[in-house]
Structure 1
Amino acid sequence: MSHAAAFPLAQAPTGAVAARATELSKVYGQGETRVTALDSVSVEFRRGEFTAIMGPSGSGKSTLMHCLAGLDSVSSGSARIGDVELASLGDRQLTRLRRDRIGFVFQAFNLLPTLTALENITLPMDIAGRKPDQQWLDMVVGTVGLSGRLTHRPSQLSGGQQQRVAVARALAARPEIIFADEPTGNLDSRSGAELLGFLHESVRALQQTIVMVTHDPVAASYADRVIFLADGRVVDEMREPTADAVLDRMKRFDAKGRTS
């Protein structure tokens, strides 16, 4: 079930839009090498909701996430975080927006080996010259199960624990939205299930907004809804997904190349 209504955000109305693409297109190359990665995509991601993005290889999943996160420019159309049009920002403004309003969790953990887990978690805020909200930080650390590991360095942590540190780092600054790109890709099934449970819990208990790119139907089943892409277009949406229902939908892509 969706948890947005049960746990509304204090800082924004329930159901407010955290990120939005409007007629968004992304084209790479020119002439014979021209590739349309995204073709007039319009989609919204609401606050307090966990959304998975799925589709065949080359469908535009990661490109959509990168455009919405300000990591890649758009060719036409609009990408917004809240009410901010990303194309209107200069490089410094875009860097500040990504630092202050967006969290990232990637397949690679991207932890600094010389820092403790706690130092890795607070590093972005330290760089920005901001002190963490201690009550919020304690809640995040407890939610992801790291309370007994804060003094450990990455080499002393398992892969699953390292990814939890990466999730806590993304959550600690209280971003408006977190983008996760295949966050379980380097984890075994047990660690992956734990991490997905933590992401789900951060939406339920901390009212976080998460957009996750994944190819795994089981991972997608932890989300409140799934958006399906094919050939650079949004072709379907599923709410309250189950792994079996998502797998069945993905099999239709394999059978027909795209949605029927």
Structure 2
Amino acid sequence: MPMQAAVSAPGRSPAGPAARAEGLSKIYGAGETRVVALDSVSVEFARGRFTAIMGPSGSGKSTLMHCMAGLDTVSAGSARIGERELSGLTDRQLTRLRRDSVGFVFQSFHLLPTLTALENITLPLALAGRRPDERWLETVVATVGLSARLRHRPAQLSGGQQQRVAVARALVSRPEIVFADEPTGNLDSRSGSEILGFLRESVRELGHTVVMVTHDPVAAARADRVVFLADGRITDELHAPAPEDVLERMRRFDAGARTG
């Protein structure tokens, strides 16, 4: 993939993880309807690394990501971006943190249909009243292979190209961490592989931190580390995983569900 070596990666403090949870619990409802989605989870996400979160349906993986990203409140424990405790922030501070320090990539692309690809990419900066760093913007656009599609609107782009726009939008503000929730879920295998390659490249070449929720062992194997959840608790993790290793761990979950 083309890179512009003259453009430095985003500045990051070397101290501490990009995000971490300590004793994080999330409970929905009360009484007979009470559901413990997360049960005293403690986990760190290292800077400049690509982490995948996996687990059976209902294991709490998306809930963990939403709490860590400040999209949902926690019931107990703490969630931090850098050294900032999310529960201590006002709504305005939390909005500013998500805008300036967090990038998001979702299964649905969430592009505005009346804007061009370039306008969608730079929208978070426009909302913040900031002008894009042109050299960094060019680097991000080149990384996701969109240089020839910037004037196109979403309806003129394939699903894979729309998700590339979403990835570029997540990276353009140089966030401290990017959260991706099933980013390949609506894509064919080829487009999905390309998106995973772009996320991998953003970590290796641009210095980003990416945390991705996925159900796909092949997608998870593109990460540096895989964290496994079951019943709202972290049960295992793998480093430098191979697809067959991830698949074997998931088979254990399935076997446990059948015998439980």
Shorter-chain TM-score bucket reads: over 0.9
- The C-alpha deviation readout for 1:154-198, integer Å capped at 9, x for no partner, is 111110000000000000000000000000000000000010001
In the other structure, the counterpart of 2:4 is: none
| 8 Å Cα contact 1:9-1:47 kept in structure 2 | no
CA distance in structure 2 between the aligned counterparts of 1:88 and 1:200, rounded to whole angstroms: 32
What is the DSSP-based 3-state SS (H/G/I as helix, E as strand, rest coil) of the residue aligned with 2:13? coil
In the other structure, the counterpart of 2:105 is: 105
- The residue identity in structure 2 corresponding to 1:131 is R
CA distance in structure 1 between the aligned counterparts of 2:165 and 2:23, rounded to whole angstroms: 36
- The residue identity in structure 2 corresponding to 1:29 is G
Query: Runs of 5+ in structure 2 lacking a partner?
Result: 1-7
Matches within 5 A, 1:40-55: 40-55=40-55
In the other structure, the counterpart of 1:12 is: 13
| 8 Å Cα contact 1:8-1:48 kept in structure 2 | no
CA distance in structure 2 between the aligned counterparts of 1:224 and 1:46, rounded to whole angstroms: 10
Q: Does 1:66 align with 2:58?
A: no
Query: Runs of 5+ in structure 1 lacking a partner?
Result: 1-6
| 8 Å Cα contact 1:182-1:215 kept in structure 2 | yes
TM-score by length of 2: 0.95
Question: Are residues 147 and 8 of structure 1, via their aligned partners in 2, closer, same or farther at CA, if it must alter by over 3 Å?
Answer: closer
CA distance in structure 2 between the aligned counterparts of 1:231 and 1:33, rounded to whole angstroms: 16
**1:9 Cα offset (Å):** 6.2
TM-score by length of 1: 0.95
Percent of pairs identical after alignment?
A: 73
Runs of 4+ in 1 over 6 A off after TM superposition: none
- The residue identity in structure 2 corresponding to 1:178 is V
In the other structure, the counterpart of 2:133 is: 133
In the other structure, the counterpart of 1:96 is: 96
- The residue identity in structure 2 corresponding to 1:224 is D
- The C-alpha deviation readout for 1:140-165, integer Å capped at 9, x for no partner, is 00000001111111111110000000
- The C-alpha deviation readout for 1:212-237, integer Å capped at 9, x for no partner, is 00000010011000000001000001
Matches within 5 A, 1:1-260: 10-13=11-14, 16-257=16-257
- The residue identity in structure 2 corresponding to 1:220 is A
**1:242 Cα offset (Å):** 1.1
**1:11 Cα offset (Å):** 2.5
- The residue identity in structure 1 corresponding to 2:169 is R
**1:12 Cα offset (Å):** 1.7
